[in-house]
Amino acid sequence: MGLKDALKKGIDNVSDTIDEASHRGAARTEHATRDLAGDEMTVGEKAKSMVNEAGHTVAAEIDHTKRDVRNNT
């Protein structure tokens, strides 16, 4: 692997790490919002929050997987 490829790989890894952390933080925030609001949230609001949390978790896992694949090839 040349220097250019190594640099691109490093930049992509940093980008995916930042994206993953951002998504995990957003997922934790959604969960914490439900914990704090509790019964004040409607069923619809809770469902929307759960879907948002799941979406952020999946996006974080995708970023993690992209980094793993990149590092193992």
- For the chain, the structural domain boundaries read 13-35+42-71
Whether pTM exceeds 0.85: yes
pLDDT digits 0-9 by tens, 1-38: 689 999 999 999 999 999 999 999 999 999 999 999 98
pLDDT at position 49: 96
60-66: long-range contacts, CB 8 A cutoff, minimum separation 24: 60/19, 60/20, 60/21, 60/23, 60/24, 60/27, 63/16, 63/17, 63/19, 63/20, 63/23, 64/16, 64/20, 66/12, 66/16
pLDDT digits 0-9 by tens, 42-73: 999 999 999 999 999 999 999 999 999 999 98
